[in-house]
Amino acid sequence: MKKEFDILVIGSGLGGLVSALVLAKEGLKVCVLEKNNQYGGNLQTFSRDKLIFDTGVHYLGGLSEGQNLHRYFSYLGIMDDLQLQQMDPDGYDRITFGDDQTEYPHAQGYGNFVEQLARHFPEERENLENYCEEIQRVCSQFPRYNLVGKDHYNEEVLHLNTKRFIESITPNRKLQSVLLGSNFLYAGDSENVPFFVHALTVNSYIQSAYKCVKGGSQISKLLIKRLREHGAEVHKHSEVSEFIFNDGNVLTGVRTKAGKEYFAEKFISNIEIRSAIRLIGENRLKKSFLNRIRSWEPVSSCFSVYLVLKPRTVQNFNYNLYHFSSEESVWNAYRHRKDAWPETYMLSSTQSKHNPDFAESLTAISYMDFEEVNEWQDTFNTVADGHDRGGDYETFKLEKAEKMIAALEKKIPDLRTSIKRIYTSSPLSYRDYIGSADGNMYGYMKSSENPLKTMVSPRTKIDNLFLTGQSVNMHGILGCTIGAFNTCAEILGKEVIDERLIQLINKIKGEK
């Protein structure tokens, strides 16, 4: 039988799941297709030695009551079921440089953010206040950042450059580097990236910062649970290999690798935009659009080391550590030297269930260019489609893990003696599981010189095909969530989405 839906969503990353649920809540018949064994894109987790490790989402911001992600997740019906742990209020992120043992904190709450950094930079208090004020001003200029209100981008804000802005805030080079210290969250190009990327990224965490207990996959699991409650179908191991067009060149359905066909009125692509173009067929798109997409440069990929620890050997810490080889390296940390790797890393810990003062695991992530794994680029390996990449690849990963552990031992002396097991993931892992170009972490490089170049409308030249996800506009949990609501506004109408969100805000106010 020919199965027909109102909406077919290709890819179950956060943008796809949120879009699907918003539409299912409106009574539409929705189906989501996912190629992997696990739903969720960057929300995926994996288990080793009975411990859960996150692949992409290590912490969340804006989840306290009244804040934007809290409200979006409340509308989706998942907020109350999330198991969260608030990170250290006086320093959820801590920035360190070289051999300097000082940890410079990013604190939760704007007043506290200023207070904690003013202890290290007492003469910079006013500059810190100006920085916080401008972050909030820039965020307020973005459509749907506060759920309703603005519906178009402010061009002036889009062109603000991060480097020029930070330098205008303070002449203190160390403080500049501290303020940029979590730029791993958008791949570290602070010289060219628009300031709005920096502002949108850090604002949520300054508002509030949480870890997902049991990993970020609980977000995708809850979204899928709600989808099924609304009658939606969700299928994994269902990689879309072909779009089906009728004689009038109208998209009517998709065919999976397994040969199954699904038909729908409208389609949402939550897969990497270049993969979507291959499915559409270049002949159906304008040359100017294709050339623009081809000119995009993927942000850097990364290499991750996951350490299972022996019990009661490493003290737990309720924050992320961002370490740089020098203050100068912060500005474009992704341009690392292979011979000095890792010049920067992000380190986080997971609290032991049995011994809460101690960590049960550590995760360390550093930049890595895809070219370092080029010789294995023709191999593919996931749970759903497993292939061995060979002994040379395993040796390569082990050598990198050893270098990372050596770097970490400068922070945690004798760490090596505390390690029970080591696991790793490379740019190939990110490419295969997330489907991103060259295993990139967050879509494509954005430039303050031409910010609109990498912004794509959710609406495509194919009348009934829409786009969402991190490869078309903003990345991150909040970015993809807002992007999904924008996609749904194109399908349902902006007025409908605004009305639903206003109803939510009024309901929350009425309950207080």
Q: How many Å apart are CA 173 and CA 167, to the nearest integer?
A: 8
Mean pLDDT of 157-168: 92
Question: Is 442 in contact with 470 (CB distance < 8 Å)?
Answer: yes
How far is CA 170 from its chain centroid? 29
- Predicted local distance difference test score (pLDDT) of residue 434: 77
Question: Is 336 in contact with 478 (CB distance < 8 Å)?
Answer: no
* DSSP character at residue 40: B
Q: Is the pLDDT reported for residue 188 higher than 80?
A: no
Average pLDDT over the chain, rounded to an integer: 91
- Predicted local distance difference test score (pLDDT) of residue 440: 82
- Predicted local distance difference test score (pLDDT) of residue 470: 85
Residue count of the chain, please give it. 512
Structure tokens at 196: 């709005």
Half-sphere exposure at residue 87, Cβ-oriented, CA atoms within 13 angstroms: 32
Start-to-end C-alpha separation, the chain: 50
Model confidence pLDDT, tens digit, residues 96-148: 999 999 999 999 999 999 999 999 999 999 999 999 999 999 998 888 888 87
- Predicted local distance difference test score (pLDDT) of residue 448: 85
Q: Is the pLDDT reported for residue 427 higher than 60?
A: yes
Instruction: Please name the amino acid found at residue 206.
Output: I
At residue 13 the predicted structure's pLDDT band, cuts being 50, 70 and 90, is very high
Phi and psi angles of residue 386, each rounded to the nearest 5 degrees, phi first: -90, 130
Strands (E), 231-300: 233-235, 240-245, 251-256, 261-269
Model confidence pLDDT, tens digit, residues 265-290: 999 999 999 999 999 999 999 999 99
Phi and psi angles of residue 442, each rounded to the nearest 5 degrees, phi first: -135, 45
At residue 417 the predicted structure's pLDDT band, cuts being 50, 70 and 90, is very high
Mean pLDDT of 2-22: 94
Structure tokens at 283: 């002949």
Q: How many Å apart are CA 206 and CA 187, to the nearest integer?
A: 19
Q: Is the pLDDT reported for residue 26 higher than 90?
A: yes
- Predicted local distance difference test score (pLDDT) of residue 339: 83
Closest CA to 470 of 269, 242, 206, 210: 269
- Predicted local distance difference test score (pLDDT) of residue 442: 80
- Predicted local distance difference test score (pLDDT) of residue 105: 98
Instruction: Please name the amino acid found at residue 2.
Output: K
Q: With the C-alpha atoms ordered 11, 14, 17, 22, is the resulting torsion angle positive or negative?
A: negative
Model confidence pLDDT, tens digit, residues 196-234: 999 999 999 999 999 998 888 899 999 999 999 999 999
Q: Which residue has the tokens 């080029």?
A: 374
Q: Is the pLDDT reported for residue 363 higher than 90?
A: yes
How far is CA 365 from its chain centroid? 14
Q: Is the pLDDT reported for residue 151 higher than 70?
A: no
Q: With the C-alpha atoms ordered 321, 325, 326, 331, is the resulting torsion angle positive or negative?
A: negative
Q: Is 491 helix (H, G, I), strand (E, B) or coil?
A: helix
At residue 512 the predicted structure's pLDDT band, cuts being 50, 70 and 90, is low
pTM of the entire predicted model = 0.93
Beta bridge partner(s), residue 50: none
Q: Is 423 helix (H, G, I), strand (E, B) or coil?
A: strand
Q: Is the pLDDT reported for residue 45 higher than 80?
A: no
Q: Is the pLDDT reported for residue 441 higher than 90?
A: no
CA–CA–CA angle 504, 269, 79 (5° rounding): 30
At residue 471 the predicted structure's pLDDT band, cuts being 50, 70 and 90, is confident
Q: How many Å apart are CA 347 and CA 54, to the nearest integer?
A: 13
At residue 383 the predicted structure's pLDDT band, cuts being 50, 70 and 90, is low
Q: Is the pLDDT reported for residue 160 higher than 60?
A: yes
- Predicted local distance difference test score (pLDDT) of residue 46: 73
Question: Is 440 in contact with 47 (CB distance < 8 Å)?
Answer: no
DSSP-derived pairing of the beta strands 233-235 and 344-351: unpaired
At residue 480 the predicted structure's pLDDT band, cuts being 50, 70 and 90, is very high
Q: How many Å apart are CA 68 and CA 71, to the nearest integer?
A: 5
Question: Using only C-alpha atoms, what is the Rg of the chain?
Answer: 22
Instruction: Considering only residues 3 and 486, tell me which one the structure prediction assigns the higher pLDDT.
Output: 486
Structure tokens at 236: 């994994």
* DSSP character at residue 298: B
Contacts of residue 11, defined as CB under 8 A and 6 or more positions apart, other chains included, come to 33, 34, 35, 41, 269, 270, 271, 435, 469
Least confident of 6-15, 224-233, 336-345, 375-384: 375-384
Mean pLDDT of 191-200: 91
Is 388 exposed, middle or buried, given 0-12, 13-18 or 19+ CB atoms closer than 10 A?
A: exposed
Q: With the C-alpha atoms ordered 79, 27, 245, 482, is the resulting torsion angle positive or negative?
A: negative
Listed in sequence order, the DSSP H helices in 375-493 are: 391-408, 427-434, 476-492
Instruction: Considering only residues 377 and 207, tell me which one the structure prediction assigns the higher pLDDT.
Output: 207
Q: Is the pLDDT reported for residue 433 higher than 90?
A: no
Q: How many Å apart are CA 105 and CA 96, to the nearest integer?
A: 9
Q: Is the pLDDT reported for residue 509 higher than 80?
A: no
Question: Is 44 in contact with 37 (CB distance < 8 Å)?
Answer: no
Q: Is the pLDDT reported for residue 90 higher than 70?
A: yes
Instruction: Considering only residues 383 and 306, tell me which one the structure prediction assigns the higher pLDDT.
Output: 306
